[in-house]
Chain A
Amino acid sequence: MTSRSLSDLPPVGVIGSGNFGTTVANLLAKHRLVLLYVREEKQVEAILRTREIRGHKVNKNITPINDLGHLARQCDVIFPIVPSAHFRTMMKKLSPYLHPYHVLIHGAKGLDITLPKGQTIENVSKLNRSHIKTMSEVIREESVVVRVGCLAGPNLSKELSARHPAATVIASPFNEVISIGKRLLRNDRFQVYGNNELIGVELAGVLKNIIAIAAGALNGMGYGENARGLLISRGVVEIIHLGRALGGKTKAFLGVAGIGDLVATCNSPLSRNFQVGYKLAQGMKPQEVFDSMDEVAEGVNTVRIMKKCADFYKVRAPITATLYKVLFEELTVKDALDYLMRYPLNIDIDFIE
């Protein structure tokens, strides 16, 4: 396809120029012109000059811009890929420019928490589904857009850039959104699957971060593949129990976005979540670990939230609960592991008839 015919089609928008955002923009740029929203004005010039963002090459079909209104007017299809902590703020800014014909496919893996004024996750008396929103729910709350989807799956930016074979899931209740996503992202090295369980797929992407911390911890203790196999399989069970309490369907957790993503994350020592676990197992104090990282790993927050949630819904979540003690109550990784190995309930699978 030449760039001349590309310009006949409306461009696709990407919001967020982090690792994943840039990677997605590059994937999209193979098929379409892309408008990439970056937060800082001067970054726009830098990208135009260097054609690079933090070491990632930027495809020539990508135009960096700093104007959300312009992006929304030009693009019917937008991929918001910003960290969950900033997601709602970003949506509030974008919302005035959005119309019901827009399609939003987000790539954020985290939860949005709204608590009564002056309360924190620690001191709030109970935490349940009414306080927790997935990113697609934030989009629905903040804008008139209904055709919403998400990107999830084992999508390590580095490997995607290097064109290793990989796959992603586009989840949406709308088949239309899935087929748009497929059309825009698919290439000979990148397979795209569809799934109608949006909430389940979003939760799978969030909850796996808990298990990634645990995987890092096992690795930091010097344990090998048996231990990891044990963790991943028990991790799936725990994710499913927690995910169902929040309204996800079992099906979503068993696919590419569930097990696929989980296995990839548990084997990638470079991910932030893995690093947290690894450093803790090496004997660093939690606060030292947090200080040593430029950004808080999503998983740490997820553990805080899900621990409280598991209490409310009376879900058995031993890995989450023990990690919580390690992260916030000074339990050592070794004691945590001893505790888990003695955990009395040991039915293998109890979520499928």
Chain B
Amino acid sequence: MEVIEKKNKNKRYKPILDKIPDWPVYQLSKNRKEFIEEVADHAFKRIKEMRPTRKQLVDELEATVYREQQRMKRNRWRIDPQDEPKFWAKIKEDLLDVTSKPLDDDLADRKEDEILKRIVHRYAGEIAGNFKPSSYRFARGVIQFWFARLLNATRVKKFGAIFRNQYTLRDKIQIVGKVKQLRSLARKGTIVMVPTHLSNLDSILIGWIIHALGLPAFIYGAGLNLFNIKIIAYFMNSLGAYKVDRRKKNLPYLETLKMYSGLAIEKGAHSLFFPGGTRSRSGTIEKMLKLGLLSTATEAQRNIYLKTPAGEEPRKIFVVPVTLNYHFVLEAPELIDDYLSVKGQDRYLPEEDKYGSLQLIQFLFKFFTKGSNISVSIGRGLDIMGNYVDEEGNSLDAQGRIIDTRDYFISNGQLTIDKQREDEYTRMLSQRIVAEYHKIHRTFASHLVAFVAFELWQKKHPKLDLFGLLRLPEEELSLDYPEFRKTCKRVRKQIYRLKKEGKANHATHVKGKIDLVISHGLENVGNFHLKRPLLMDKKGNIITKDLNTLYFYHNRLVGYDLEKLI
């Protein structure tokens, strides 16, 4: 079925900055210690601003200690440092010391501040990445070398092919969209890349993509849970990742994290984070983004405008939405289970990963031995207000006139800091990013068939709600091919129309004879799952072996109002 995909035009890109020492991420890690100090310092000040009275601060500290102790009791990970219980026990003791004894205000204030400082400093150290050029080069080499070996061994079915270089990762992963612009913007300003998030594989994939595009390493916020898997942890560390611990929801942690990201962006480090916050459990394209990390981009841009001396060109921040797309998502059955049980019963599910290093390698092997392409769409660059920018980095309005982004922070002729205004700006930016996701997301044939099949079954059982439908035994579900084919055609036509209107996109393999497209879709939709979500039986009818997983892949096309065509 490879024939359906247009010949891959991906080419090799030259690095835009030759030497690693020029990279902003390297500069950051070289001065790691100073940077941590700076982050902790700023975070401390910010928290003091947010909790100005003594009582508020004490409450916050007590809540933080309580939550941390609960976390250690209930949900401790391998990656968590050994001395953690000791550290928090000491904090608790000291805090009790301050609150239980009658001290004069001045002394008490000083002691509380010191405790807060200790906490944010520890957090800053936990978050900070550790980019090392030597291990970066090594990791990059490993990924490329072994991926290439695997690819050649499996595609060219001859013994000895393992040493050939006929295929490279570039053939497997399609990068489309505004690559040239991204490279040009990365020279002119600071990139904040915001991809969609489906799989744990995303983190490695995106690291490779950044390298393949010739861009210097980005710093990126990766879930700490990923670091539990040793093999990934190794790559993440070496690719410049900083750690985001989603178990910690206390104010000092969140503010330290935001400060880390914000200051790094301000210093010109290209950054990446998944604004959905976590992998999309339902499989839908992200609709609601987490505003915390996103707001650091807005704040950094404002600070750059504030701090740049007159006469110097202020460095601009460019937000680049990216969508990652797979025929097959390793974790799909677990993700959708999570989603359904939360939605269905409203109970809390701790985040856990069922995949260790071995499973991952198995997956990679499968991934390379069978044809399953990955598509990466690079969106057009936006400024921090969500305006498109041109190749030169100028923000443009709808009529193509140039906008000065600085003006958004001007009030009464003065550049001002207004937290509420910037929160609103961040919210607006997040909506623009979501719209861009839908626009650049490339529909695959496998999504099309999954969507149509699931919606047809839903239509055939109008009385059942989602959960009722999912409880139906799979044997009872079967679709006549002609009806299925007709509906696929109709939905595809609408996707074409949406593409014309600039509201959607699709892979090239979606075009062509509908029967071929359908068989390509059926062949690829979740093709490595134990139970196939969609296939054709001997009589030529469309059946499913796993409706839940089908629902997951179906969800990739939710949000385009295609349901009414069924």
- Answer yes or no: are A and B bound together in one complex: yes
Chain B residues with Cβ below 8 Å from A313 are none
Chain B residues with Cβ below 8 Å from A143 are 397
Bitwise interface map of B from 400 to 433 toward A, beta carbon under 8 Å scored 1, else 0: 0101110110111100001011001100100000
Chain A residues with Cβ below 8 Å from B398 are 141
CA distance A146 to B428 in the complex (A): 10
**What is the minimal beta-carbon distance from A318 to any residue of chain B, in angstroms?**
28
CA distance A96 to B398 in the complex (A): 11
Inter-chain contact B411/A101, CB cutoff 8 Å: yes
A100 at interface, CB cutoff 8 A: yes
Tell me the total A-B contact number using a CB cutoff of 8 A.
Answer: 43
Decide yes or no: A99 and B404 within 8 Å by CB, A76-B412, A76-B413, A146-B385 being known contacts: yes
Interface size class of B (residues with CB under 8 A): 20 to 34
A95 at interface, CB cutoff 8 A: yes
Decide yes or no: A99 and B420 within 8 Å by CB, A76-B412, A76-B413 being known contacts: no
Chain A residues with Cβ below 8 Å from B425 are 146
B399 at interface, CB cutoff 8 A: yes
**What is the minimal beta-carbon distance from A32 to any residue of chain B, in angstroms?**
12
Tell me which of A95, A101, A144, A173 contacts B410 (CB under 8 A).
A101
Chain A residues with Cβ below 8 Å from B418 are 175-176
CA distance A175 to B416 in the complex (A): 14
Decide yes or no: A95 and B421 within 8 Å by CB, A100-B404, A176-B411 being known contacts: no
Inter-chain contact A175/B420, CB cutoff 8 Å: yes
**What is the minimal beta-carbon distance from A194 to any residue of chain B, in angstroms?**
12
**What is the minimal beta-carbon distance from A247 to any residue of chain B, in angstroms?**
13
A174 at interface, CB cutoff 8 A: yes
Tell me which of A95, A141, A176 contacts B420 (CB under 8 A).
A176
Identify the interface centre among A10, A144, A173, A175: most chain B CB within 10 Å of its CB. A144
Inter-chain contact B420/A100, CB cutoff 8 Å: no
CA distance A95 to B397 in the complex (A): 10
Decide yes or no: A174 and B420 within 8 Å by CB, A76-B413, A100-B403, A100-B407 being known contacts: yes
Inter-chain contact B407/A101, CB cutoff 8 Å: yes
Inter-chain contact A96/B412, CB cutoff 8 Å: no
Chain B residues with Cβ below 8 Å from A141 are 398
Chain B residues with Cβ below 8 Å from A146 are 385, 408, 425, 428
SS class, residues of chain A in contact with chain B: loop
Inter-chain contact B403/A173, CB cutoff 8 Å: no
CA distance A175 to B424 in the complex (A): 10
**What is the minimal beta-carbon distance from B405 to any residue of chain A, in angstroms?**
8
CA distance A176 to B424 in the complex (A): 11
* Chain A stretch 46-92: residues in CB contact (< 8 A) with chain B: 76
Determine the residue in chain B with the shortest Cβ distance to A92. B399
Inter-chain contact A144/B403, CB cutoff 8 Å: yes
Determine the residue in chain B with the shortest Cβ distance to A77. B412
Inter-chain contact B421/A176, CB cutoff 8 Å: yes
Determine the residue in chain A with the shortest Cβ distance to B425. A146
Inter-chain contact A100/B411, CB cutoff 8 Å: no
Inter-chain contact B424/A99, CB cutoff 8 Å: no
**What is the minimal beta-carbon distance from A11 to any residue of chain B, in angstroms?**
13
Tell me which of B408, B412, B413, B424 contacts A100 (CB under 8 A).
B408
Decide yes or no: A144 and B424 within 8 Å by CB, A99-B404, A100-B404, A101-B410 being known contacts: no
CA distance A99 to B424 in the complex (A): 18
**What is the minimal beta-carbon distance from B342 to any residue of chain A, in angstroms?**
24
Tell me which of B397, B411, B421 contacts A144 (CB under 8 A).
B397
CA distance A32 to B418 in the complex (A): 24
Tell me which of A76, A96, A173 contacts B424 (CB under 8 A).
A173
Inter-chain contact A174/B412, CB cutoff 8 Å: no
Inter-chain contact B407/A99, CB cutoff 8 Å: yes
CA distance A293 to B60 in the complex (A): 64
**What is the minimal beta-carbon distance from A233 to any residue of chain B, in angstroms?**
35
CA distance A209 to B418 in the complex (A): 36
Determine the residue in chain B with the shortest Cβ distance to A147. B421
Chain A residues with Cβ below 8 Å from B408 are 100-101, 146
Chain A residues with Cβ below 8 Å from B412 are 10, 76
CA distance A349 to B408 in the complex (A): 43
Determine the residue in chain A with the shortest Cβ distance to B416. A176
CA distance A141 to B403 in the complex (A): 15
CA distance A176 to B417 in the complex (A): 11
Determine the residue in chain B with the shortest Cβ distance to A178. B420
Bitwise interface map of A from 166 to 201 toward B, beta carbon under 8 Å scored 1, else 0: 000000011110000000000000000000000000
* Chain A stretch 14-43: residues in CB contact (< 8 A) with chain B: none
Determine the residue in chain B with the shortest Cβ distance to A173. B424
* Chain B stretch 203-240: residues in CB contact (< 8 A) with chain A: none
**What is the minimal beta-carbon distance from A55 to any residue of chain B, in angstroms?**
35
CA distance A147 to B407 in the complex (A): 11
**What is the minimal beta-carbon distance from A279 to any residue of chain B, in angstroms?**
43
**What is the minimal beta-carbon distance from A223 to any residue of chain B, in angstroms?**
45
CA distance A174 to B411 in the complex (A): 12
Determine the residue in chain B with the shortest Cβ distance to A140. B428
CA distance A101 to B411 in the complex (A): 6
**What is the minimal beta-carbon distance from B563 to any residue of chain A, in angstroms?**
15
* Chain B stretch 369-401: residues in CB contact (< 8 A) with chain A: 385, 387, 397-399, 401
Chain B residues with Cβ below 8 Å from A100 are 385, 403-405, 407-408, 410
Determine the residue in chain A with the shortest Cβ distance to B427. A173
**What is the minimal beta-carbon distance from B311 to any residue of chain A, in angstroms?**
21
Determine the residue in chain B with the shortest Cβ distance to A98. B397
**What is the minimal beta-carbon distance from A290 to any residue of chain B, in angstroms?**
36
Tell me which of A96, A147, A173 contacts B401 (CB under 8 A).
A96
Chain A residues with Cβ below 8 Å from B399 are 95
Chain B residues with Cβ below 8 Å from A101 are 407-408, 410-411, 413
Chain B residues with Cβ below 8 Å from A99 are 403-404, 407
Inter-chain contact B407/A174, CB cutoff 8 Å: no
**What is the minimal beta-carbon distance from A325 to any residue of chain B, in angstroms?**
29
Determine the residue in chain A with the shortest Cβ distance to B399. A95
CA distance A100 to B421 in the complex (A): 13
CA distance A95 to B407 in the complex (A): 15
**What is the minimal beta-carbon distance from B556 to any residue of chain A, in angstroms?**
23
CA distance A96 to B397 in the complex (A): 10
CA distance A144 to B408 in the complex (A): 10
CA distance A10 to B387 in the complex (A): 28
CA distance A146 to B387 in the complex (A): 12
Determine the residue in chain A with the shortest Cβ distance to B411. A176
* Chain A stretch 154-170: residues in CB contact (< 8 A) with chain B: none
Would you give 23 A-B contacts (Cβ < 8 Å), ordered by A?
A: A10-B412, A10-B413, A76-B413, A99-B403, A100-B403, A100-B404, A100-B407, A100-B408, A100-B410, A141-B398, A143-B397, A144-B387, A144-B403, A146-B385, A146-B425, A146-B428, A147-B421, A174-B421, A175-B418, A175-B420, A176-B411, A176-B418, A176-B420
**Which residues on A are within 8 Å of B, measured CB to CB?**
10, 76, 95-96, 99-101, 141, 143-144, 146-147, 173-176
Q: A144-B403, A146-B425 are in contact. List 19 more A-B contacts (CB 8 A).
A: A10-B413, A99-B403, A99-B407, A100-B385, A100-B404, A100-B405, A101-B408, A101-B410, A101-B411, A101-B413, A144-B401, A146-B408, A147-B421, A173-B424, A174-B424, A175-B418, A175-B421, A176-B411, A176-B420
Kindly list the 5 A-B residue pairs having the minimum CB-CB distance in the complex, ordered from nearest.
A100-B407, A101-B410, A100-B408, A101-B407, A144-B397
